[in-house]
Chain A
Amino acid sequence: MRYSSDPETTLSLGHRLKRAWNSDLCWRFRHSPVAMISFAVTLLLVLSAIFAPLVAPFNPFDPGSLNLMNGFTPPSTPNAFTGEQFLLGTDDQGRDILSTILYGMRISLFVGFAAVTLGMLIGVTLGLIAGYFGGIIDAIIMRIADIQLTFPSILVALLIFGVAKGFTPVEYRDEVALWVLIIAIGLSDWVQFARVVRGATLVEKNKEYVQAARLIGRSSSSIIFGHILRNVMSPVLVIATISLALAIIAEATLSFLGVGVPPTQPSLGTLIRIGQGFLFSGEWWILLFPAVTLLSLALAVNLMGDWLRDALNPKLK
């Protein structure tokens, strides 16, 4: 719904950027150390995960580069047999921990983003429909949400994951495991999106601009998606950020339990599960570094979500 044909009414890119830089949100961001640090940490982790093949010193999935003799090398110490050195040490098979973390983070972030996107799509749509139409439709959608809320979301994810796995033929299981995991986590967290969006929609639908659109003769779907949706997006943005941290942790939990991603695509959770086996035999680095990475990632994203909530709704403070 945007027109850019007329030069008089469109602004240059530079002008737009300047306006965005001077906007209240950006100004608050520039004046909040917590927000800037957590943004920097998140950005660093996300970028290094995306560019893992370029950044990582080794490819942990390339059997040719592995040397079993390098197994259990402590961080930044030369290996007793080969004399090779690794920044964060190696695991039992001689894989570089730093590289496995970078590659593992790719999986964790991918699952996190995809699951939140799915949950958001479902939750926002159902929330809009429930709030706008009300009545029996609202009652059905929100009762389903209430029932789902009575179970811990990780349990729901486990359930969906287990059922879906049971229906998949054995030979495809590893291939689809990642997608099944995304769907399981996504379906387990649509409820909070739906609740918030429904509440906001109830407020918005009584505003006169909605009546004005109905008066013109606009259909319900174009009012919902053309008018109301853009007015309920700011709380959704906040929930999506916080959900991202939760989804990453949910994925790690499932993988830690051994029901998540297949062993051929280890995520941070898988690394932690492998690492905890060596904790008491003295190879602490195999557990510690993936765990610290997961912690920083989840914490940074969470703090960003908190800041965003305060910045978008200053009255909450």
Chain B
Amino acid sequence: MTLLHIKDLTVEYPSRHGVFKAVSGVNLTVEPGEIHGLVGESGAGKSTIGAAIMGLLERPGHISGGTIAFKSKMINGLDATAMQGLRGKQISMIFQDPLTSLNPLLTVGEQLIETISLHLGLSRDAARQRATELLDRVGIPDPALRLRQYPHQFSGGMRQRVVIALALCSEPDVIFADEPTTALDVAVQAQILDLIKDLAQERQVGVILVTHDMGVIADTTDRVTVMYRGKVVESGTTAQVMSAPNHKYTKSLIAAVPRPKIKLKRFSQISYGGRDTRFAIEDIARNWNRVETLLDRPLLRVKHLEKKFPIAKSIFPGRSTYLTAVDGISFDIMPGEVFGVVGESGSGKSTIARLISGLYPLDKGEVEFAGQIVSDPRKSEAVAQFRRDIQMIFQDPYSSLNPRLRVLDIIAEPIRHHKILNGAALTKRVHELLEQVGLGAAAAAKFPHEFSGGQRQRISIARALATQPRFLICDEPTSALDVSIQAQILNILKDLQEHLGLTMLFISHDLPVVRQMCDRVAVMQKGRLLELQDTETLFANPQTDYTKELLTLMPHLEGLSDEGLEI
């Protein structure tokens, strides 16, 4: 029997600019024991479908057409009390952020036991018994003890397990999982997905898994529905959609997925929906003043880098406790090389970027750039030159541009600061840069909020190129972007490296991306450098256990269509 049957669902948000259709004419079914993937980029309407099913659409949004049937019973248009009997009890939800879905002031046990006795009408003892079983089932060791602990005593992955246990309390028939692993590390993501897979099988629960990650879809789901701007563009079994996509948009999504197994020349870009994919690298290269660099000597040398952050401050220095974020790291980066740093969150990889660029003061160690020591603020001349020679591209395109400045002023800032140009020549230079990154000169008069995430990252790139740097630090430059935009931005970075000979430090947690981008890779764990190898050697023959484990946790992506790949 079909658990959930959504037919011609349309959700509208009226506003003063007109009616916005967040979801239009969507059909979707979920069978018992089936994981149904819902994939699409941000704003495609995936989460809106979840809110519509749960009756949690935020006003003035409403269902303007179509039906939602749960076990052949219509549930849209039910009153609040009837909906409450359904919500959480027969249909549960798992959210993206495990931190905000648990109450920090109650122990995990209290939250589980309360939910169980509410939904199943069990006595407290029986509920406690069940809670212990559930925690055990979702893979939390020592569940009886863990029941008495508070959410902050759990790690991110453990917390998400608790959230899943909470969702299972009422023995629901359908679970709506909204990006359940996006906030987690790869290693934890794989475990959580396995758990969801097992649970669906074992309890015959229907799962709707919302994600923007094609890797998650390929490895976890049975069926998949691809959405684009509120509409379903393609639907079918996962194997069929992945290996032989019909719609052009699905093809562009699949082609853009970074492959873990083969190194490609470039990321495939099949443009869809009239997106801007221009990047005038020849134009940039023509006007680029290349600094002569000795190719046999490292451009950047990092020696015994060390950084501690205080966790608990005390007025007595001896009593403060510290977290060692970076613990004695040394490496060299050769001119023209793309040097990758990978590791889980908290491994210290972003701290390295900030230490090299001088955003954080060093505790110990030395940074040498083009033969000059630049980590000593007293050598102001070397530091000033270094500031011109390095630039950084940040992770979050929404916070790396000042929202109250026009694009013109954002890009002009480094040029003006280093007194390279001024007046009309400066404005002209900014317009050129904007043309070159594919946004057009008219973008100069606008504010950052008028651009999408990918366009903002292009503005960041234009700002980074403004001083014609020799060294570029990319700190997770695409982890906030949709996969097709990610491919565009990574191709731009590849172009910069190939045509301008830019040296790069590329920080990422995404191993397939690192394989495509980097010449050498450093693997970090808990502030230490575990392994440093040529990329292909590392992927073919990892030395440490930790690296081996990371590699096995990469999405496998078997049976993905090869259409449009540039090998």
A binding-site residues for B, Cβ under 8 Å? 1-3, 5-6, 8-11, 27, 207-209, 211-218, 227, 230-231
Contact = CB atoms under 8 A, between A and B. Distances in A.
A6 B409 CA distance: 14
Interface in B411-434: 412-414, 417-418, 423-424, 426-427, 431
Interface of B: 16, 354, 357-359, 384, 387, 390-392, 394-396, 399-406, 408-409, 412-414, 417-418, 423-424, 426-427, 431, 441-442, 444-445, 460, 463, 467
B367 to A, nearest CB: 14
B70 to A, nearest CB: 32
Return the 5 tightest CB-CB contacts between A and B, nearest first. A208-B400, A217-B387, A9-B445, A230-B404, A208-B394
Contact of B413 (A27, A208, A218): A218
Contacts of A218: 413, 417
Most buried by B among A2, A5, A208: A208
B423 A5 contact: yes
A2 B445 CA distance: 10
A215 B16 contact: no
A212 B400 contact: yes
B417 A216 contact: yes
Contact of B444 (A9, A209, A215, A227): A9
Contacts of B396: 208
Contacts of B409: 1-2
Given A8-B441, A209-B400, A231-B404, A215 B392 contact: yes
B408 A3 contact: yes
A94 B375 CA distance: 79
Contact of B387 (A2, A9, A27, A215): A215
A207 B398 CA distance: 9
B480 to A, nearest CB: 11
Nearest to A228: B402
Contacts of A213: 402, 413
Contacts of B384: 217
Nearest to A213: B413
Nearest to B441: A8
Contacts of A231: 402-404
A214 B400 contact: no
6 contacts: A5-B427, A6-B427, A209-B401, A212-B400, A215-B387, A217-B418
A217 B417 contact: yes
Nearest to B410: A209
Given A1-B409, A208-B396, A227 B387 contact: no
Contacts of B431: 6, 8-9
Contacts of B395: 208
Given A1-B405, A230-B404, A212 B387 contact: no
B424 A5 contact: yes
A215 B357 contact: yes
Contacts of B405: 1, 227, 230
Contacts of B402: 209, 213, 227, 230-231
A215 B418 CA distance: 12
Contacts of A27: 16
Contacts of B460: 212
Given A209-B399, A211-B359, A10 B445 contact: yes
Contacts of A2: 406, 409
Nearest to B402: A209
A9 B399 contact: no
B442 A9 contact: yes
Nearest to B473: A215
A215 B442 CA distance: 27
Contacts of B403: 231
Give the interface centre of A211, A218, A230 by most chain B CB atoms within 10 Å.
A211
A220 B355 CA distance: 18
Contacts of A227: 402, 405
A164 to B, nearest CB: 38
Contacts of A214: 359
A216 B387 contact: yes
Nearest to A211: B359
A212 B398 CA distance: 13
